């Protein structure tokens, strides 16, 4: 365990001076309900690449949470009255404000989450892109006009905002996932209450400061975007709160199950983005020059801490050994180091908890018959570093293969056919992302069809990670069934009314019923 003793780095280390440009200081208030406050537990944000404290954040209490909810609901009444295109203009300005701070926010993700700089800035860009998407959406929310069977009647659909949307995000994508939900929610006419991960409080504070400055500049109540940093008690309160008609939760399947059950009991809506035990299938006709870099990024990127990380590599037996050897050479070339340094490809795990999960998974895999092909150990340096790891020799249905470990561990499996590989892809409980590498057109359409992958994201000749915002993102089975970002995901943030208007002087009933 790394020591967290010593001075706060935000005050003592020149490389973190940029944090002050984001409105952060040594001691931050972690609640925004129209104004900044916080009188709960004080948590210390820890830097993953050296294990030292960055800054303190005072979290919120249940009372402050309730005030945040009340203020956000009050702000909704005015926000929902603003025409959609004008709401879209505010969202556009939020995107521009984030764009201006892209470099600083990207560095913040390196410092607090542990991401390398390109991935950190890429996450900010994703929020900006979704803002752009929401701007266009604000002028074209869909609806339908149906032919009525009754003369002098109009039958149509009306979409309206639902009110306050709760958003609970995880540590690994604290900005992008919040951006998916918030951009669409605001454009739809909702207000948002955000609870970020307890280990990434500075991200929540910095993003909220940027967004509320834009709201205030436009004469909009800043309580449109409220935020409460807190622990499980705040998340539990959101799950049971009838004042939050929709709760979006991103995290583990275990916790997501509890959240979804609690929300369902009160007849609310939940949008769940949970775990993924993702596979890449490599057939004998695959272009291995594409396979190797794709697998490398999907298995090693973000230090294996993406929900879309490739954890199972299912390779046709005729090219299995060749793929394995090329991957091992590629792993040897991964530049490990401080994520703030431009040439680093692989940074630290987010926390000591990740290292403990990594150690246990490696030991369990070996106990179940795995051969360690590469890595498998902690790296002796400050911070939370482990080696990217490849393991072979396991059965496709081994317990550890069916266990999602949020760490950079790749299990390589040998298959005889596409049908067998598809069955292995589908046999795990999660159904998030999947990829097939082949040049065969028939196999491609089989993979995308009813007897192909059962995942929400089905790729061909690209990695399992790195989804674009234009398509809806999410997965099936224990992944939760939620859909965020593009396509028609906006519908989850609105309520639909089927409206019938009688503009005649008669009162005919449907189905020709006579009631006279």
In sequence order, what are the residues at sequence separation of 6 or more whose Cβ sits closer than 8 angstroms to the Cβ of residue 25?
10, 55
- Other CB atoms within a 10 A radius of the CB of residue 167 amount to 25
Exposed, middle or buried, 512 (CB in 10 Å: 0-12/13-18/19+)?
exposed
According to CATH, the superfamily of the domain at 9-274+482-495 is: Aldehyde Dehydrogenase; Chain A, domain 1 (3.40.605.10)
CA gap 174, 171 in Å, rounded: 5
Query: First vs last Cα of the chain: how many Å apart?
Result: 81
Query: Which residue in 126, 273, 373, 387 is the catalytic one?
Result: 273
Query: 3-class secondary structure for 475-509?
Result: CEECCCCCCEECCCHHHHHEEEEEEEEECCCCCCC
Query: Which residue in 37, 307, 387, 484 is the catalytic one?
Result: 307
- Give me the tens of pLDDT residue by residue for the chain, a chain 516 residues long: 344 455 687 878 888 889 999 999 999 999 999 999 999 999 999 999 999 999 999 999 999 999 999 999 999 999 999 999 999 999 999 999 999 999 999 999 999 999 999 999 999 999 999 999 999 999 998 889 999 999 999 999 999 999 999 999 999 999 999 999 999 999 999 999 999 999 999 999 999 999 999 999 999 999 999 999 999 999 999 999 999 999 999 999 999 999 999 999 999 999 999 999 999 999 999 999 999 999 999 999 999 999 999 999 999 999 999 999 999 999 999 999 999 999 999 999 999 999 999 999 999 999 999 999 999 999 999 999 999 999 999 999 999 999 999 999 999 999 999 999 999 999 999 999 999 999 999 999 999 999 999 999 999 999 999 989 999 999 999 999 999 999 999 999 999 999 999 999 999 999 988 898
CA gap 37, 314 in Å, rounded: 51
Tell me the three state secondary structure of residue 58. strand
Is 307 catalytic? The answer is: yes
Q: What is the DSSP string of 431-464?
A: ESEEEEE-S-HHHHHHHHSTTS--SSEEEESS-S
Can you tell me which residue has the tokens 């998916």? 180
In sequence order, what are the residues at sequence separation of 6 or more whose Cβ sits closer than 8 angstroms to the Cβ of residue 254?
none
pTM given for the model: 0.96
- Other CB atoms within a 10 A radius of the CB of residue 97 amount to 17
* C-alpha torsion 324→330→331→334, nearest 10: -170
- Domain 278-471's class? alpha beta
Domain boundaries, the chain: 9-274+482-495, 278-471
């Amino acid at each position: 365990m790394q020591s967290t003793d010593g001075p706060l780095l935000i005050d003592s280390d020149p490389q973190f001076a940029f944090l002050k440009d984001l409105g952060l200081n040594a001691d931050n208030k972690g609640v925004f309900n129209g104004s900044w406050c916080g009188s709960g537990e004080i948590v210390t944000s820890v830097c993953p690449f050296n294990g030292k404290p960055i800054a303190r954040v005072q979290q919120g209490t249940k009372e402050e949470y309730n005030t945040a909810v009340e203020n956000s609901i009050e702000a909704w009444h005015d926000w929902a009255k603003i025409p959609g295109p004008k709401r879209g203009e505010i969202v556009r300005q939020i995107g521009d404000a984030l764009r201006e701070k892209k470099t600083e926010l990207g560095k913040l993700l390196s410092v607090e989450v542990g991401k390398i700089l390109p991935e950190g800035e890429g996450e900010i860009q994703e929020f900006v892109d979704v803002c752009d998407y929401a701007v266009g959406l604000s002028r074209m929310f869909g609806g339908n006009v149906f032919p009525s069977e009754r003369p002098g009647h109009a039958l149509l659909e009306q979409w309206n905002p639902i009110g306050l949307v709760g958003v609970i995000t995880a540590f690994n994508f604290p900005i992008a996932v919040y951006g998916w939900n918030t951009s669409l929610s605001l454009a739809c006419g909702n207000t948002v209450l955000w609870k970020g991960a307890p280990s990434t409080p500075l991200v929540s504070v910095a993003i909220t400061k940027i967004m509320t400055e834009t709201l205030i500049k436009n004469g909009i109540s800043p309580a449109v975007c409220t935020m409460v940093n807190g622990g499980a008690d705040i998340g539990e309160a959101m799950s049971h709160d009838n004042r939050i008609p929709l709760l979006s939760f991103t995290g583990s399947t275990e916790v997501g199950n509890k959240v979804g059950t609690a929300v369902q009991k009160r007849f609310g809506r939940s949008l769940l983005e949970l775990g993924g035990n993702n596979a890449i299938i490599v057939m004998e006709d695959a272009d291995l020059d594409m396979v190797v870099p794709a697998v490398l990024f999907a298995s090693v990127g973000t230090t294996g801490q993406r929900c879309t990380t490739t954890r199972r590599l299912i390779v046709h037996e005729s090219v299995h050994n060749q793929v394995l050897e090329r991957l091992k050479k590629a792993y040897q070339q991964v530049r490990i180091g401080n994520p703030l340094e431009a040439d680093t490809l692989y940074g630290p795990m987010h926390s000591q908890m990740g290292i403990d999960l990594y150690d246990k998974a490696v030991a369990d895999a070996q106990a179940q018959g795995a051969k360690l092909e590469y890595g498998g150990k902690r790296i002796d340096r400050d911070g939370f570093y482990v080696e990217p790891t490849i393991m072979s020799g396991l059965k496709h249905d081994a317990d550890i293969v069916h266990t999602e470990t949020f760490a950079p561990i790749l299990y390589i499996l040998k298959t005889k056919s596409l049908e067998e590989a598809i069955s292995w892809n589908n046999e795990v409980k999660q159904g998030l992302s999947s990829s097939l590498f082949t040049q065969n057109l028939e196999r491609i359409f089989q993979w995308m069809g009813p007897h192909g992958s059962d995942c929400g994201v089905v790729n061909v000749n690209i990695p399992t990670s790195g989804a674009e915002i234009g398509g809806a993102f999410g997965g099936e089975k224990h992944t939760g069934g939620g859909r965020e970002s593009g396509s028609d995901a906006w519908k989850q943030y609105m309520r639909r009314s089927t409206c019938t208007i009688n503009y005649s002087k008669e009162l005919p009933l449907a189905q020709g019923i006579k009631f006279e």
